Structure 1
Amino acid sequence: MKPEAFTEQAAGRVIRVGQGEVAYHAFVPAPLPPALTLDPDLILTLSDADRALGELAGLGRAIANPSLLVRPFMRQEAVLSSRIEGTQADLADLYGYEAGQLLLPGVRPRKQASDVREVFNYVQAMEYGLERLETLPLSQRLIREVHARLMDGVRGDTATPGEFRRSQNWIGPPGCLLAQASYVPPPVPEMAEALDALEKYLHEGSAYPPLVRLACIHYQFEAIHPFIDGNGRVGRLLVPLLMVSWGLLPHPLLYLSVYFERRREDYYRLLMAVSTHGDWRAWTSFFLQGVAAQARDAVARAKRLQDLQADWRDALQRKRASALVLRLADALFERPILTIPVAAEVLSTSYPSAKAAVAKLEAIGALRQVAAEGTAKTYEAARILDIVTGEDESEDAMQIKEIGQKL
């Protein structure tokens, strides 16, 4: 790390560690809050983000079955947040894994099971964190517990899952040594002090609005980099966890990984600019724009999912489908890839009854068979996957028309 890259306005201090040839420089971020002026342009950006987030929160409170949105959105976030770290699994792979079918043979190329497990762990970590928030405030303890579930049984699981690092880490090109690192976070003693200060900031009052505080907290966690591995994913997990904890959203419906992944160079550049130049304004504006963009995107996708659910229910009612079939149609929004045994488990019914229900959903185009390995047939609700992943926009009208023609 080049100490000369850090200006007098840097959001912390550069320290020299060690002596002689093994000496290196590390960055210690200053405690939050920073000195940040909310100028008129930034206030407008904040107002836009607040409005968009408020609309999403209202939708989340109004919907009768929040899992219709929570489960698919959470899983897409798991895919994208893990992709930033180099995994190759997609949403269908994750649902296939959860259905016990790794991974749709003959339809999609098999992904590395380890990649899919990493994505699955992300979901498990998020669900665990949300459950723990009911009894434990967001804290160093909860962060460690979330990290333990994130890293369980995957690459990096030897890097002390659930424990803050006891040695120096660094960020740089693959295979680089400490001397060639582009960023070196604080050494262990200073890291512990920074974490204590961050935890205090999480629970104390602040003159800054919540979304501005979130931008600061996300930067601070990434700058501290308290784990040997998994820091990026944990840092992105903290955003929806805090939004729910602070009452900004009733459910975890907003995720920023798709925004960060599409603008990866800007994301890392602006984080680094806070460290080197104290440019909190540019980073905060970028973060708030992401909140606004992703909140609006989530609202649009949520409405398409609700429309699709209504179309399917209408089609099934016209065919005088049983309540069991209607229940399975609704369950597809939580499990858009399933086998007949999984359908039987979801419905708490027999295999023949589940098979008949699946056939009814095939008849209206809600399900299609995508794989058969031995006696295990796998079905997917492709329209749900397309809406969640954003691959449906150009085909919406055509698909709705096709559903109507099947009535």
Structure 2
Amino acid sequence: MRNVALAELSDKAPTNALLIAGNVAAMREALRQSGPVSIDSICSIHDVLMAETSEWEGLRDEQVWIGGTPYSPHGASFVPPHASRVPDYINDLIEFGVREDVPPVAKEAIFHAQFETIHPFTDGNGRTGRALVHRMLANDEVLMHSTLPVSAGLLHDAERYMKALDAYHVGKIEPIIACFADALELAVVIGLRIADDVDDVLSAWRASNTDRAGSASHGLPELLVEQPVVNAAYVANRLAITDRAARTLIETACERGILSKMGNAKRGAYYQADELIGILEEASRLQGIRRIAAR
């Protein structure tokens, strides 16, 4: 999680962290959008996701398959529709997405499964599809003011999730709906636990802050919740203070145990909020998710 947060600020983060940061950016793009879903808005999410790669060509124009070998669909576990059919299928899916006669959670589950079945891109379909879930939940006013870790809820039991998609491919919709409902319930639990743990950390930080009211130091904790790895330039920009004041603020935060220095000379001077990173690390691991859910 430290490297993922670093990737928000620097392209010198590890490659895998840069890819995960792309997932976060795609979700933010999905949440930023408003109004009906369209092919352009879906492609926009995918473009943000794949910004660090060469996969920018929009809807695929070639045949793809899942499993088997790179040379032939022979032996593949699933072969999506021919590329020529993808635009019509996506438009049909978009029409389904605005229906009001289907319960929202069931509709989002079917929408997601159908999106993955169409497989509209050469790469990044699963990540784009999961980012779209947040957009659909917001459109249907299920989640209007918060963002839940839905992917964590789905992927904590990846085998069940994949089996539910396989079942959908042969016309069985109940498994993916049940999978989604359980994933949302687990996401609520995970989200609440993370929020409670973060609130405890923030309360302790506020109690240790004796600076005068109006000091920039009072705005640092909330900034670190959003971005738990920072440098002086980022703090200065976000808190509207000078670089010198930002460096002083960071030094004080280090003395108070809020931040600690990380990185090396090549990356530059970055600082991390260890307690917040610890909470996110716990929530990002499969065993951690299960421990959180059991609490």
TM bin, normalised by shorter chain, reads 0.7 to 0.9
In structure 2, the CA distance between the partners of 1:200 and 1:391, relative to structure 1 (3 Å rule), is closer
1:391 Cα deviation from its structure 2 partner:
6.0
CA contact (8 A) 2:30 2:132 kept: no
Over residues 291-318 of structure 1, what are the superposed CA-to-partner deviations in whole Å (9 max), with x where a residue is unaligned? 101111101111221221122111113x
Query: Is 1:248 aligned to residue 142 of structure 2?
Result: yes
1:181 Cα deviation from its structure 2 partner:
1.1
In structure 2, the CA distance between the partners of 1:101 and 1:360, relative to structure 1 (3 Å rule), is farther
Query: Is 1:199 aligned to residue 89 of structure 2?
Result: no
Query: Is 1:271 aligned to residue 181 of structure 2?
Result: no
1:101 Cα deviation from its structure 2 partner:
7.1
Partner of 1:102: 12
Structure with max Cα Rg: 1
1:173 Cα deviation from its structure 2 partner:
4.2
Q: Note the 1:317-328 alignment, pairs <5 A.
A: 317=210, 323-328=215-220
Percent identical residues: 25
Partner of 1:340: 232
In structure 2, the CA distance between the partners of 1:154 and 1:374, relative to structure 1 (3 Å rule), is closer
Equivalent AA in structure 1 for residue 172 of structure 2:
D
Partner of 2:256: 364
Count matched residues.
285
In structure 2, the CA distance between the partners of 1:306 and 1:177, relative to structure 1 (3 Å rule), is same
Distance in 2 of aligned mates of 1:240 and 1:285: 18
Equivalent AA in structure 1 for residue 112 of structure 2:
H
1:182 Cα deviation from its structure 2 partner:
1.0
Match of 1:221 among 115, 124, 133: 115
1:176 Cα deviation from its structure 2 partner:
5.6
Query: Greater relative contact order (Cα 8 A, min sep 6): structure 1 or 2?
Result: 1
CA contact (8 A) 1:243 1:252 kept: no
Distance in 2 of aligned mates of 1:293 and 1:375: 37
1:132 Cα deviation from its structure 2 partner:
2.6
Partner of 1:57: none
Partner of 1:140: 39
Equivalent AA in structure 2 for residue 99 of structure 1:
L
Distance in 1 of aligned mates of 2:184 and 2:38: 23
In structure 2, the CA distance between the partners of 1:244 and 1:377, relative to structure 1 (3 Å rule), is same
Match of 2:3 among 93, 102, 119: 93
Distance in 1 of aligned mates of 2:272 and 2:11: 12
Partner of 1:117: 18
1:321 Cα deviation from its structure 2 partner:
7.7
CA contact (8 A) 2:46 2:124 kept: yes
Query: Is 1:281 aligned to residue 281 of structure 2?
Result: no
CA contact (8 A) 1:167 1:187 kept: yes
In structure 2, the CA distance between the partners of 1:255 and 1:271, relative to structure 1 (3 Å rule), is same
Query: Is 1:373 aligned to residue 260 of structure 2?
Result: no
